[in-house]
Structure formats: C-alpha cells, structure tokens
Amino acid sequence: MPPSPAVEAFGPEHADVYERVYRARGKDWKAEARDVARRIRSVLPGASSLLDVGCGTGAHLEVLSGLFDRVEGLEISLTMRERSRRRLPSVPVHSGDMRNFGLGRSFDAVTCLFTSVNYVGGVPELRDAVRRMADHLVPGGVLVVEPWWFPERFLEGHVAGDLVREGDQTIARVSHSRREGRATRLEVHWTVAGPSGVSGFTEVEHLMMFTEAEYRAAFDLAGCDVDFHGTWLTGRGLFVGVRR
C-alpha cells in the first residue's frame, strides 16, 4: 500500500474527522465549556461577553453562545473557520492570528482552549499571544488558557491508537509523539472507510512545550494576575488570569 499523502493540519481532511474521533476518545466539549463559564463567573459574576481565540470548528463556542449574551470567535485556519461559521451563522467568527490580532473592542472574558496557544513558535510568540488576548479584556476581565503538557510531563515516543465507527463510516487514528527541541512533534495517520471506499492521510503538528513559569510570566507581562488549576477536565490544567 502506498504511503498516505501528507496534508495540512486542520485542513479539510483533518477537520472532517477530528471531532468525531476526539469525542469517541472521551473529549466533552460541552462539559468543558460549561466548566470554563463557571470559572469565569466565579471571578466576574456579571460576565456577559466572551471571545474564543482559536475556536476551531466552534464546538466550545456553540455551548458558550448559550451561556453568554455576546460571543465571538477568532480562527486562523480557513477550513476550521468556515465550519465554525456554518455551525454558528449568527456568531461573528473572525479571521486572525492570536499573536497580532486586533478587533477594536473589549470582552468580559477571553478563552483559548484545546491547547491552541501551543501552536505559536516560542516564548516570545506566547507572550505576544497572551498580551493580545489580554488587551481585548475589560479591566477585571478573565483570560482562560488551556496549555499543552509541561515539558516534565511529556512522554517521549508516546503512541496512541483509536478506532471509531459512526453510521456507515469507520475512522482509524494512530499517532506518535516525540520531542523536537522545545516542541512536541505529533505525527498522526488517519484511515477513513465508507461506502465509497477507503482513503488515508497523514498530518504533522508541532506544539510548543512551555513551563508553568513561562506561562505565568506571559500573563504577568500582559497585565494579568493568574492561577493555575492543575486538575482541570482534560488533565493538562487550566490557567485563569484576571486583567489588573
């Protein structure tokens, strides 16, 4: 069998299947969004507006739209952004890069979930992204960031495999992770089978591994006090900051 073609991470092929597989693996976007909303309101009870940065296909944003009076999204991937807009036609979903975006308005809360912040290129870009998000908060507003694994928790050579059957389609996902400098190199092979046949593709993601101290410093430089909630639902923890 010829090797699977390499495709862009978060491109059309990836976007078509990743929600179904992660849901089968136990990811609960609804529970995560509700818990984030609860944590935001524990700090700012009157919070009514929210911006979700790196909103992807809008799985979190869909739930958050029912919990806040005004929500908006920001997404750099054209494919993911289009899916989010189709899912939530009444919600503004902006094209933008978290490192340098500017919407010209403020929100009570800004979220950046599912390790989206770790697709930046290094510590300076982490600081740029956190600063841009904090700049979109009202004073006293809440910034919630879900990190990727800290370097000391990374498992070199970790292999994962999943098989999902949904309707008349079967999806297999096999992944391998290794350290590449300060980044995790995550190589994922997908096979999708359905009535029209079998196809496959490979995508490679690079997620920067930052230390807890580096996240804390980024929040501080952005003018936010921050707490780390280490036992959050995904197991990776959650940073919850408040703009001073």
Same domain, 203 and 85: no
Q: Is the pLDDT of residue 136 over 50?
A: yes
pLDDT band at 156 (very low <50, low <70, confident <90, very high): very high
Place of tokens 């995560």: 32
- Report pLDDT digits (tens) over 183-209: 999 999 999 999 999 999 999 999 999
**Beta carbons of 200 and 227 less than 8 angstroms apart:** no
Q: Is the pLDDT of residue 1 over 90?
A: no
| Exposed/middle/buried for residue 184 (C-beta within 10 Å: 0-12, 13-18, 19+) | buried
Same domain, 47 and 131: yes
pTM to 2 decimals?
0.95
Same domain, 47 and 134: yes
**Beta carbons of 98 and 129 less than 8 angstroms apart:** yes
CA distance 143 to 150: 19
Q: Are strands 183-194 and 169-180 parallel, antiparallel or unpaired?
A: antiparallel
Here the CATH number for the domain that contains residue 61 is 3.40.50.150
Same domain, 86 and 169: no
Same domain, 102 and 197: no
Note the pLDDT of residue 165.
95
Note the pLDDT of residue 4.
74
Note the pLDDT of residue 64.
98
- Within 10-64, where are the H helices? 12-24, 29-43, 59-64
Same domain, 101 and 202: no
Residue 4 lies in a domain: no
Residue 76 lies in a domain: yes
- C-alpha 111: how far from chain center: 9
Here the CATH number for the domain that contains residue 169 is 2.20.130.10
Same domain, 51 and 137: yes
Range(s) of the domain holding residue 78: 25-150+210-243
Residue 182 lies in a domain: yes
Residue 142 lies in a domain: yes
